[in-house]
Each structure stands twice: as structure tokens, then as C-alpha cells.
């Protein structure tokens, strides 16, 4: 084979590989829509998306409880995880002694990111759930309601999820803070501002969009988490009316019921997949938009 | 060093690829010769039946070492579908077939009792079928109504579609009443048991084989949930484990199913579940 | 009014607390898992087959399953990932197609594993059943490959971008073709970065459960060919904890998993520093 021909073959091969990721995401979207759309068509978008009752054995496929469930757990996780994550990121970028970071905190964060979600689930199920149950049984208003006093629920899920999204938030936010030009900081300090004032008034505002990107990525991770969630949140397909209420997430709905489902029930689970897919694509686009805005 | 590294890397990739291709080619050898059992069986379906199948298969393969049996999970629904379409040689189901699914051959390989369980410190020992129905329907919500200590009853339910839930609903709840929405959903026997073991006011239902010292199984209308009582049909809450085939089984598949239903196979069934013979 | 010096001190305390809280959380989780799992850890636990549906015996088959599954996934994913990154870095200008490819890669990175699992179930397990054997090692590996592809592409891209332009120029000026430059200069130089990406991918594969629940089959037997169902440590842990309810085995498996992740992290760090030293020398 001629040299130039060979070069062309290599190029074509590389191009095909590069297309693979795009191809896969189109396939994923295509398959999930193909399997899940029939249910939307048959019962109507409104009935499925806004429907409040999920009883597959009675042909009721309302997704709203799971949508709300996912939103509540995710928001809860962000409320706990974002402050801790951002503060830790500031600490790492601005305050921490270098040795402490490289020997202790950085490996800790990496390990935190590497722990499989089933292990988080196992931990949450055997520690956090019993503690919350013990507390809620002492509060008369909660103890009476069977759905609020079991320990399984939004609060337990949010606590575990907040730990799981910490590494994402910390890493992205720290990068953003570190990439703030040194001049900003020096200028502020030269004007007589204290270190904290500089962080608070100059560095964090300058790194705002990077920090936001971290938060949005954490949001995506929380929304997509499955195994830890189903071991902790109780999985009742009801509209939650309290923070202690047992809920079911969209991801959990799929993982729990896929195994025994058949026919229309399976399609309804793919419908859950469609909603989750669309949510995630929106969130990712938002994250990309934030990052690009910063870059451009 | 970089050159060495590169060539090493590509050599490794090459070897790995060859392994993959070779692995792909290996499929579908040997169908059975006369008399001597040889071949491959694919079992797929219910995750409740899967562990039992694995125990059975292990013993069967030890006796017939030219037979290879794969046991995959996937769930009862998938098992029924796989059997009907012939994509698996044997489909496994832990629930009765629905009317529209009855186009396959079915073999009951075991029975599995369903026990009603509570926390081991719960003073209640015996409930009537009617009370159980009311608890799971959400009409009775406090243990004090049943002679227990004051406390809101936490109902632990299985997910919709589960064989255990199907059997429980059919036998206890009947057609008109459905299980309360205010129930925690756990998606396996172990998960329900762990949950009830840690919850003083919890109640749930699990496979009889799943009972251990962590929880207490209730008597139903005075009858204890035991293998004996299910055999004599005095304890009425149980479900079948089914093996399904597309058509009349032949060759290795037939040999395996026959063996499962033989004394030897049923002996293994008896270690965890209730034999059918 | 609060003095700036006082705020400064308070802020410092808050920041230290936040960072330490992160570390303490990790220590708590690790401590708890090891406290419960340590008594199970033994050579025997690692090398005996699971008995009684996983409630007794060891975790040997799922340990072997994890290794086989990881290798298969890496073989499927790594060549594609590296090739894609090379194309993106070396061959394209910023056209529409590149933008689309980049969008695809970024989007794929954010897709939750359960959704990828759903796809794997519909495509590899159901549609391609005659080829993959349904729930099997290869179905799981292909699904896993979809999951780690974005990580591989990204880290490889970073590594390639870090190769100094002078290397390329030198190679071209000596008359090398583009492919020669890539295969002999760029890829070897970028190797430490690429390896780190591979190791990150391995970490993700080892910890994955949700997608494998729908595609791998979860068998207790060691797979002998690609179309056999298999199980991994994470999947086994989930089943043992939830299906069987044998918490001691579950904690033992969890401890092994954490040690594996720790091992992966440390070896990634070691490889990085080792190769860095060699390149400098």
C-alpha cells in the first residue's frame, strides 16, 4: 500500500472511532424513545407525565411522584453538598498547607469519588436510616404517620447523595478558583483587603461561573444516581408532603421494577427513562452553556 | 524507552483483540451425541429462582461434566418472554403465569411459602387473615388496635410486578382491595427482612426460605408458617417456582428438568424451599 | 460593627471545618465498613466459591468475574477512545462535525448509568441476543464501554494536547508522515496521561452496578466465554445485601471493593509519577 493511501485509511478509522460517542448517544436516545413512546401515545403525555398514581398492575403509569421524588432528593443533596463542597474548594485553593492537601485531603476526595455507590447505599441503610427513624419516632407529629417515621426518605437520601456529589463539586470549583488570575488577588491585597475579604469579594465572584458549572454537574450526578438511592429512600411512589416522607426516584423506579415487569409495564419504565434522559440532557446543556460562556 | 513502550502496548492490544475474536468463534459447539449428555442450556428469568437454579445446576453439572448450564437473572417477566420466544432454553418465573402468557410448557419445580414477618420484640404473635388485609390496606394503622404496643404500623411492601407481591395480593388482599400507598417499597426478600429487623413497628412479607432469627414470622389464623403446614395446605400463602419451555423439552433440557423433578433434585430444593414431590 | 480581623478568623475556622468535615465523612464511612467487614476478610473469603446463594462461603467467582469483566470492557473501549481522541486533537479543525462529536462525548458523560443500562438492555441484551447471548459478559462489557468512553476520550485528549508542539514539528521536519508522528511521537509521549484515563475508567467499571443489573446477568459462576452471564463484586454485594440479606458477607465484599478502589487510585498515582520521572530523565 502507498504511504498516502495508508494515511487515508488511518484517518478514516480514527474518524469512525471519533463518531462512536455521538453514535452511541443517538442510539441511546433512539432506543429509549422507541420503547417508551408507545405509552405516551396511548395514554397521552399529560396522563403519564403529570399523572399522580403509579400502579402498573392497574394500568396507571403516572410519573409525577417519581419526578417530584427525584427533584426533592436532588435539591436536598445540593443544599447540604454545595456549601460544604464550595467551602472545601476555597480551603484547598487558598488556605490549605500544601502537604496537608497532597497527603490527606486530595487522596480523601479521590477515594470518596471512587467508593462504589452500592457501598454508600449499604452505609446509609445501616447507619443513617436507623438514626433518622429513632429520631422521628420521638416526634409525635411524625410518629403517627407510617410514611414519615420509618427513617427511609428524602432526608436520608439527601445526606448520602450530598456526600456522593462532594468530589464533583470540590474538583470543578477548585479548578475555577485556581484559574482566577493572580493579579486580582494581589491587587485586592495591595488595597489593604484581608485574605477573607479578597476571597469573598474578588476571587469567588470571579470564579462564579466555574463554581456554578460544578454545582450543575453535581446536580446531574445526583439526579442520575441509582443504587444508593434505592437502598435508602423507601421507594414509595407517592407525592411527598414532608421532608421525612419516603419517596421514589426516577432512576429507582427503573432499577426496582425492570426485573419483574412485562409488556406495557416495561414500556412505562422506558417512559421514565425518557423523562430522565430529557432532564439530564437539559442539565448537561446548561452546564456546557455555563462553561462555554466563561471560556468565550 | 518510548519505542519499546509503544510496541509493547500495541502487542498487548493485539493479543487482547485476538482473544476476543477467538472467544467469539468458540460458540455453539457440540450438541448432544446419543446417550451421553452434552450441550449447553441457557436459563434466564426470575431473580428469586436464580439462586435455587444455581444450586441445582452446580450439582447437575458435577454429575454431567460435559453439560454447561448458564443461569442469568432478568426477572420473571423476562423469563416468561425468553421462554416463549425460545431465546432461552428455560425461562424461570416466581409467579403464576397470566392468562395471555399460558402459551408455554410449565413445570412447577418448587413451592415457596410467604411468611408475614414483624420485629422480633413485637408482642403480637398471631393475626387473622382479615387483620393482615386491613393492615396492608391501611385501615389498621396502630399496633395498639391489635393488642400490641402503641406505635404506627410501618408496612413494608414489594415492588409492583414481583412474584411475592403478586401471590400475597391474590391470596390476602383479593381483587377489590389494594395495598396502601403509605408503604415502604423494598425490592427483594433480603431488603424487606433487613428493614423489618431494624424497625420495631414494621410488618412485611417474605419468602419462607428467608426467615431467620433476626425477625419473627407470625401465625396466620393460628397456623404457623412451616414447610409441613404448606405441604398439608393448612398454611395457604405460597407461590410456585416455575420452569418454562417453549415446547416439549428434548435432549439435555429434558434431562435437566427431569433431574430437577427427581428425588435428587427435589432433595436440593428441600434445603431452601418446599419440594413438589 | 464586626472587625475584619475577626471575620477573618471566623472565616478561617469555617473553611478548616468544611475541609475536615469532608475528610471525617470519609473516615466515618471507611471505618464503619471495615469495622463490620474486617472480620470476614481472609484469604479463604477471597478464594472460596459462594455457597447457599451467596450467604455463605466466599466471593471468589465474583472477584474473578470483576477482573474478566473489567479486562473485556477495557479491550472494547480503549482502542476506540484513544482513536477518537487522536482524531479530535490531530485531524480536525473546528467544524460542525467536530462540534457535534464533542457535544456527543460531553452528553454521553452525563447520562446516568441506569439509562445506559436501559439502552444496553434494549439493544445488546434483547435486539442483539443471537450475537451476545442475552444477559452476558459481552452485553455488560459493551454497555460498560459506552459508559467509560467519554472519560477515556477526555483524558487522552488532555494528554495529547500536553505534548509540546516542538515534538510534532521536529518529526514532520524529518519527513515523517502524520500517522508516523502520531504513533511514534505523540502517543508514546502522552502515554502516562492515557494510562491514567484507563485507570480512571477501570475505577468506574469496578464500582458500577445499576447498568450491570440490567445487562450482565449476575450469575454466580465464573464465565468461560463471552456469551456467558457473569457477576462483579459490586453486583454481588448488592444481591447479597438486598436479595439474600447476608449483611456480614455484604460488608466483607464492601471492604474488598474499597481496598480495590484504593489500590487502583494508588497505582494510578504511582504510574503517573514513575512515567513522569522517566520522561524527564
Which domains are assigned to chain B?
Answer: 39-112+240-269 (3.40.190.10), 113-238 (3.40.190.10)
- Interchain CB distance below 8 Å, C136 and B72: yes
Q: Where are the alpha helices (DSSP H) in A91-153?
A: 98-100, 106-114, 117-123, 129-138, 140-143
> CA B57 to CA B256: how far, in whole Å?
9
Q: What is the CA radius of gyration of chain A?
A: 23
Give A141's contacts in chain B (Cβ within 8 Å). Answer: none
- A150 reaches B (C-beta below 8 A): yes
Collapsed DSSP state (helix, strand, coil) of residue C56: strand
pLDDT tier, B3 (very low <50, low <70, confident <90, very high otherwise): very low
> CA B71 to CA B90: how far, in whole Å?
9
Q: Is the dihedral of CA B259, B263, B264, B269 positive or negative?
A: positive
Give A248's contacts in chain B (Cβ within 8 Å). Answer: 185
The single-letter DSSP state of residue A114 is H
Cell numbers standing for residue A124: 446509609
Burial grade of A104 (CB within 10 A; 0-12, 13-18, 19 or more): middle
If one compares B56 and B46, the residue with the highest pLDDT of the two is: B56
CA angle centred on A195, ends A190 and A196, rounded to 5°: 135
Number of H helices, E strands in chain B: 9, 11
Mean pLDDT of A10-33: 91
Backbone phi and psi for residue B100, each to the nearest 5 degrees, phi listed first: -75, -5
Predicted ipTM beyond 0.90: no
Q: Say which of C76, C191, C245 has its CB closest to residue B210.
A: C245
- Interchain CB distance below 8 Å, B78 and A238: no
Mean pLDDT of A222-250: 92
pLDDT tier, B205 (very low <50, low <70, confident <90, very high otherwise): very high
The per-residue pLDDT for B76 is 80
> CA C58 to CA A122: how far, in whole Å?
19
Residues pairing with B142 in the sheet: B152
**DSSP string covering B94-147:** SSPPPGGG-SSEEEEEEEEEEEEEEETT-S--EE-HHHHHHHHHTS--BGGGGT
Mean pLDDT of B24-37: 46
The single-letter DSSP state of residue C219 is -
What angle, 0 to 180 degrees and rounded to 10, lies between the N-to-C axes of helices B263-272 and B49-63? 140
The residue among B173, B174, B185, B199 with the most chain A CBs within 10 A of its CB, best to mutate, is B185
- Interchain CB distance below 8 Å, B72 and C219: yes
Backbone phi and psi for residue B125, each to the nearest 5 degrees, phi listed first: -115, -25
- Interchain CB distance below 8 Å, C101 and A223: no
Cβ pair A79, A155 in contact under 8 A:
no
- Interchain CB distance below 8 Å, B6 and C218: no
Residues of B with CB under 8 A from a CB of A: 46-47, 73-78, 80-81, 95, 101, 138, 141, 151-155, 159-163, 169, 178, 181-187, 191, 194-195, 198-199, 201-202
The per-residue pLDDT for B27 is 38
CA distances from B119 to B123, B125, B204, B220, B259 (A): 9, 11, 10, 16, 39
Q: Say which of C5, C109, C111 has its CB closest to residue A28.
A: C111
Percent of chain B with pLDDT over 70: 87
Residues of C with CB under 8 A from a CB of B: 52-54, 71-72, 75-76, 78-79, 129, 133-136, 183-184, 187-189, 191, 217-221, 224-229, 239-247, 278
Cβ pair C149, C81 in contact under 8 A:
yes
Q: Partners for C (CB, 8 Å, 3+ pairs)?
A: A, B
Q: Partners for B (CB, 8 Å, 3+ pairs)?
A: A, C
pLDDT tier, B2 (very low <50, low <70, confident <90, very high otherwise): very low
Summarised one tens digit per residue, pLDDT across range B103-124 is 899 999 999 889 999 999 999 9
- B164 reaches C (C-beta below 8 A): no
The per-residue pLDDT for A88 is 94
pLDDT tier, A252 (very low <50, low <70, confident <90, very high otherwise): very high
The per-residue pLDDT for C52 is 67
What predicted TM-score, i.e. pTM, was given to this entire model? Answer: 0.86
| pLDDT exceeds cutoff 80 at A293 | no
Which residues neighbour C245 within 8 Å (Cβ) at sequence distance 6 or greater? Answer: B188, B189, B190, B191, B193, B194, B210, B212, C55
Total residue length of chain C: 281
> CA C192 to CA C190: how far, in whole Å?
6
Mean pLDDT of chain A: 90
Summarised one tens digit per residue, pLDDT across range B215-262 is 999 999 999 988 888 888 889 888 889 999 998 888 899 999 999 999
Q: With b meaning 16 or more CB within 10 Å and e meaning fewer, what string describes B235-244?
A: bebbbbbbbb
Tell me the pLDDT of chain C (281 aa) as tens digits. Answer: 567 788 888 888 999 999 999 999 999 999 999 999 888 888 888 888 887 667 777 889 899 999 999 999 999 999 999 999 999 888 877 778 888 888 888 889 889 999 999 999 889 988 888 888 888 999 999 999 999 999 999 999 989 988 888 988 999 899 888 888 998 889 998 888 898 889 889 988 998 888 998 898 878 788 888 888 888 999 999 888 877 778 888 899 999 999 998 988 888 888 877 777 766 55
Cell numbers standing for residue A223: 439526579
Least confidently predicted of A163-167, B57-61, C219-223? C219-223
> CA C90 to CA C84: how far, in whole Å?
10
Collapsed DSSP state (helix, strand, coil) of residue B205: strand
> CA B87 to CA B78: how far, in whole Å?
10
**Nearest CA among C215, C255, C261, C249 for reference residue C33:** C255
- C242 reaches A (C-beta below 8 A): yes
Note the CATH number of domain A67-295. Answer: 1.10.3720.10
Q: Which domains does chain C have, with CATH numbers?
A: 41-280 (1.10.3720.10)
| pLDDT exceeds cutoff 90 at A89 | yes
Which residues neighbour C96 within 8 Å (Cβ) at sequence distance 6 or greater? Answer: none
Amino acid at each position: 500500500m502507498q504511504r498516502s493511501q495508508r494515511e487515508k485509511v488511518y484517518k478514516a478509522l480514527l474518524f469512525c472511532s471519533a463518531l462512536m460517542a455521538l453514535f452511541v448517544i443517538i442510539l441511546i436516545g433512539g432506543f429509549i424513545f422507541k420503547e417508551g413512546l408507545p405509552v405516551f401515545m396511548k395514554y397521552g403525555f399529560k396522563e403519564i407525565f403529570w399523572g399522580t398514581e403509579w400502579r402498573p398492575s392497574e394500568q396507571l403509569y403516572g410519573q409525577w411522584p417519581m419526578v417530584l421524588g427525584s427533584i426533592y432528593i436532588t435539591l436536598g443533596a445540593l443544599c447540604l453538598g454545595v456549601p460544604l463542597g464550595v467551602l472545601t474548594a476555597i480551603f484547598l485553593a487558598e488556605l490549605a498547607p500544601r502537604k496537608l492537601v497532597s497527603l490527606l485531603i486530595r487522596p480523601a476526595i479521590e477515594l470518596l469519588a471512587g467508593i462504589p455507590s452500592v457501598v454508600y447505599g449499604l452505609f446509609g441503610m445501616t447507619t443513617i436510616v436507623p438514626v433518622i427513624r429513632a429520631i422521628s419516632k420521638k416526634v409525635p407529629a411524625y410518629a403517627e404517620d407510617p410514611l414519615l417515621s420509618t427513617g427511609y426518605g428524602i432526608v436520608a437520601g439527601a445526606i448520602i447523595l450530598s456526600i456522593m456529589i462532594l468530589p464533583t463539586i470540590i474538583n470543578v470549583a477548585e479548578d475555577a478558583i485556581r484559574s482566577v488570575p493572580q493579579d486580582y488577588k494581589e491587587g485586592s491585597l495591595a488595597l489593604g483587603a484581608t485574605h477573607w475579604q479578597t476571597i469573598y469579594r474578588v476571587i469567588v465572584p470571579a470564579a462564579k461561573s466555574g463554581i456554578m458549572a460544578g454545582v450543575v454537574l453535581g446536580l446531574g450526578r445526583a439526579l442520575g444516581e441509582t443504587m444508593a438511592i434505592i437502598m435508602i429512600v423507601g421507594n414509595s411512589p407517592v407525592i411527598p408532603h414532608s421532608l421525612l416522607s419516603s419517596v421514589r426516584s426516577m432512576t429507582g423506579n427503573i432499577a426496582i421494577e425492570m426485573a419483574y415487569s412485562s409488556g406495557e409495564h416495561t414500556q412505562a419504565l422506558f417512559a421514565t427513562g425518557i423523562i430522565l434522559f430529557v432532564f439530564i440532557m437539559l442539565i448537561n446543556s446548561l452546564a456546557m452553556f455555563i462553561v462555554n460562556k466563561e471560556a468565550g | 524507552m518510548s519505542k519499546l513502550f509503544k510496541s509493547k502496548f500495541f502487542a498487548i492490544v493485539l493479543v487482547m483483540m485476538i482473544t476476543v475474536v477467538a472467544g467469539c468463534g468458540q460458540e455453539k459447539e457440540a450438541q448432544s451425541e446419543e446417550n451421553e449428555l452434552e450441550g449447553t442450556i441457557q436459563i434466564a428469568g426470575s431473580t428469586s429462582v436464580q439462586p435455587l437454579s444455581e444450586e441445582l445446576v452446580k450439582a447437575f453439572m458435577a454429575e454431567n461434566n460435559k453439560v454447561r448450564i448458564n443461569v442469568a437473572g432478568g426477572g420473571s417477566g423476562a423469563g416468561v418472554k425468553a421462554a416463549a420466544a425460545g431465546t432461552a432454553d428455560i425461562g424461570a418465573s416466581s409467579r403464576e403465569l397470566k392468562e395471555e402468557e399460558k402459551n408455554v410448557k410449565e413445570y412447577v419445580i418448587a413451592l415457596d411459602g410467604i411468611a408475614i414477618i414483624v420485629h422480633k420484640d413485637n408482642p403480637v404473635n398471631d393475626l387473622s387473615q382479615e387483620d393482615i388485609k386491613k393492615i396492608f390496606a391501611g385501615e389498621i394503622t396502630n399496633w395498639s388496635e391489635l393488642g400490641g404496643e402503641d406505635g404506627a404500623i410501618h408496612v413494608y411492601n414489594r415492588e409492583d410486578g414481583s412474584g411475592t407481591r403478586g401471590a400475597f395480593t391474590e391470596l390476602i388482599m383479593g381483587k377489590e382491595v389494594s395495598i396502601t400507598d403509605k408503604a415502604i417499597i423494598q425490592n427483594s426478600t433480603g431488603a424487606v427482612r433487613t428493614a423489618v429487623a431494624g424497625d420495631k413497628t414494621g410488618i412485611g412479607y417474605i419468602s419462607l426460605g428467608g426467615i431467620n432469627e433476626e425477625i419473627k414470622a407470625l401465625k396466620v389464623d393460628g397456623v404457623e408458617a412451616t414447610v409441613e403446614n404448606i405441604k398439608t395446605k393448612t398454611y395457604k400463602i405460597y407461590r410456585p417456582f416455575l420452569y418454562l419451555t417453549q415446547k416439549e423439552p428434548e435432549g439435555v433440557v429434558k434431562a435437566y428438568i427431569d433431574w430437577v423433578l427427581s428425588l435428587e433434585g427435589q432433595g436440593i430444593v428441600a434445603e431452601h424451599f418446599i419440594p413438589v414431590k | 460593627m464586626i472587625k475584619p480581623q475577626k471575620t477573618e478568623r471566623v472565616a478561617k475556622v469555617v473553611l478548616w471545618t468544611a475541609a475536615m468535615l469532608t475528610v471525617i465523612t470519609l473516615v466515618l464511612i471507611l471505618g464503619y465498613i471495615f469495622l463490620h467487614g474486617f472480620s470476614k476478610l481472609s484469604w479463604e473469603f477471597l478464594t472460596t466459591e459462594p455457597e447457599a446463594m451467596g450467604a455463605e462461603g466466599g466471593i471468589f467467582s465474583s472477584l474473578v468475574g470483576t477482573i474478566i469483566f473489567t479486562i473485556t470492557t477495557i479491550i472494547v473501549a480503549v482502542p476506540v477512545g484513544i482513536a477518537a481522541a487522536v482524531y479530535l486533537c490531530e485531524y480536525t479543525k473546528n467544524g460542525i462535525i467536530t462540534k457535534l462529536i464533542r457535544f456527543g462525548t460531553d452528553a454521553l458523560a452525563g447520562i446516568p448509568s441506569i439509562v445506559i443500562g436501559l439502552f444496553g438492555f434494549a439493544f445488546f441484551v434483547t435486539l442483539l441476543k443471537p450475537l451476545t447471548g442475552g444477559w452476558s459478559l459481552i452485553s455488560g462489557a459493551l454497555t460498560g464501554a459506552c459508559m467509560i468512553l467519554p472519560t477515556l476520550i477526555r483524558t487522552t485528549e488532555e494528554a495529547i494536547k500536553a505534548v509540546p508542539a516542538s515534538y510534532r514539528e521536529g518529526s514532520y521536519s524529518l519527513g515523517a508522515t502524520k500517522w508516523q508522528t502520531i504513533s511514534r511521537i505523540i502517543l508514546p509521549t502522552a502515554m502516562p496521561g492515557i494510562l491514567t484515563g484507563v485507570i480512571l475508567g477501570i475505577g468506574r467499571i469496578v464500582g458500577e452496578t445499576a447498568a450491570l443489573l440490567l445487562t450482565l446477568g449476575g450469575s454466580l459462576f465464573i464465565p468461560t466465554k463471552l456469551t456467558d452471564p457473569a457477576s462483579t463484586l459490586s453486583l454481588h454485594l448488592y444481591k447479597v445485601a438486598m436479595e439474600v440479606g447476608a449483611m456480614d458477607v455484604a460488608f466483607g465484599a464492601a471492604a474488598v471493593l474499597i481496598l480495590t478502589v484504593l489500590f487502583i487510585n494508588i497505582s494510578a498515582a504511582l504510574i503517573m509519577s514513575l512515567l513522569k520521572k522517566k520522561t524527564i530523565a
